[in-house]
């Protein structure tokens, strides 16, 4: 059972920032938020994770609200290769609970 | 560093037949996971191993599914007999150590099973 809620689909213009929202209102204080993406016919690919502070790596930035009930994944300059399904996941104990994700389409 | 390897990539069988999938995790990863992903859904955990022991198999349909990781390295997932609703992608993932709260899972490419 997914612990997160995401919009089913989004579009983004190539070169612009893609902002993918996620609600996780029942998250507990020590549970991490993870983001993965899945390109068609491939396994999920790790993007980033965080607890309470904002995080940035070479792929994306993760912004977590102060109350930790929601977060936003930011792809700063979307390319056509970023078209994929993006999963926001709360790790509960040993398990990742995947929802149905957001299908992001980057438009030329 | 080599990623998670899975084989075969595709398999087509008829219902009531048996099938097996193989996974080789990233070297040194103690934890191995098998997921089932039905079309249009996110992956669902079937079973989790820590070395050669089962940590969680609560969502594994044990009447037809079985999995083993005898030497704590590679793993096999078996379905016997298969049903139409078993058509899905079977994903294997591995991580260094599941007890760490920031333990990241790395996924293989998956095996797409079609049951006719």
Lowest mean pLDDT among A94-103, B59-68, B88-97: A94-103
Question: Does the pLDDT of residue A79 top 90, yes or no?
Answer: yes
Nearest residue of chain B to residue A33 (CA atoms): B102
**Rounded Cα gap, residues B116 and B108, in angstroms:** 25
Query: What integer pLDDT is reported at residue B1 of this predicted model?
Result: 64
Contact A55, A77 (CB under 8 A): no
Q: Using a CB-CB distance cutoff of 8 angstroms, which residues of chain B are in contact with residue A34?
A: 104
pLDDT digits (tens, 9 = 90+) for B69-108: 988 899 999 999 999 999 999 999 999 976 666 788 999 9
- A71 pLDDT above the threshold of 90: yes
Q: For the residues A45-58, what does the mean pLDDT come to?
A: 94
A43 contacts B107? CB cut-off 8 A = yes
Cβ under 8 Å to B: A residues 73-102? 87, 91, 94-96, 98-101
Say if the Cβ atoms of A34 and B44 lie within 8 Å: no
Residue that wins the pLDDT comparison between A1 and B40: B40
Nearest to B89 by CA among B18, B40, B29, B32: B40
How crowded is the C-beta side of B38, counted as CA atoms within 13 Å? 9
Q: What is the mean pLDDT of chain A?
A: 93
How large is the average pLDDT for residues B12-25? Answer: 97
For residue A100, the model assigns a pLDDT of 86
- Whether B101 contacts A32, CB under 8 Å: yes
From A30, A42, A91, residue closest to B109, measured CB to CB: A42
- Percent of chain B having pLDDT more than 90? 85
Segment B18-34 mean pLDDT:
95
Mean pLDDT of the B57-79 span: 94
**Which pLDDT belongs to residue B4?**
97
Q: Of A61 and B70, which is predicted with more confidence?
A: A61
Q: Give percent of chain B above pLDDT 70.
A: 96
Nearest chain B residue to A48 by CA distance is B104
pLDDT of residue B100: 66
pLDDT of amino acid B8: 97
Q: Is the dihedral of CA B91, A9, A27, B104 positive or negative?
A: positive
Residue B100 carries which DSSP code? S
Distance CA A1, CA B42 (A): 10
Measured between CB atoms, which of A31, A94, A101 is closest to B55? A94
Q: Which residues does chain A have within 8 Å of residue B112's beta carbon, measured at their own beta carbons?
A: 41
When the pLDDT of each residue in chain B is averaged and rounded to a whole number, the result is: 93
Nearest CA in chain A to B99: A94
Whether the Cβ atoms of residue B10 and residue B28 lie closer than 8 Å to each other? no
Q: Confirm if B32 and B54 have CB atoms less than 8 A apart.
A: no
Instruction: Give the confidence band of A1 by pLDDT, cuts at 50, 70, 90.
Output: low
The confidence score (pLDDT) of residue B112 equals 97
Q: Is the pLDDT of residue A51 over 70?
A: yes
The answer to whether A42 contacts chain B (CB < 8 Å) is yes
């Amino acid at each position: 059972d997914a612990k997160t809620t995401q919009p089913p689909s989004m579009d983004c213009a190539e070169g612009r920032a893609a902002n993918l929202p996620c609600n996780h209102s029942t998250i507990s204080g020590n549970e991490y938020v993870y983001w993965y993406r899945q390109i068609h016919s491939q396994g999920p690919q790790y993007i980033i994770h965080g607890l309470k502070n904002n995080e940035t790596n070479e792929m994306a930035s993760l912004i977590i609200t102060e109350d930790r009930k929601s977060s936003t994944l930011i792809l700063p300059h979307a390319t056509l290769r970023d078209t994929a399904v993006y999963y926001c996941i709360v790790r509960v104990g040993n398990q990742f609970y995947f929802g149905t994700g957001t299908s992001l389409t980057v438009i030329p | 560093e080599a990623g998670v390897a899975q084989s075969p990539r595709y398999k087509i069988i008829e219902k009531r037949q048996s099938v097996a999938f193989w996974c080789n995790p990233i070297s040194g990863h103690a934890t191995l996971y098998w997921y089932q992903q039905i079309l249009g859904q996110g992956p669902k955990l079937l079973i989790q191993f820590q070395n050669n022991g089962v940590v969680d198999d609560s969502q594994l349909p044990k009447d037809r599914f079985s999995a083993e990781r005898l030497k704590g390295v590679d793993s096999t997932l078996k379905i016997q007999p298969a049903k139409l609703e078993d058509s899905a992608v079977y994903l294997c993932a591995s991580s260094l150590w599941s007890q760490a709260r920031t333990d990241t899972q790395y996924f293989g490419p998956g095996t797409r099973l079609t049951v006719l």
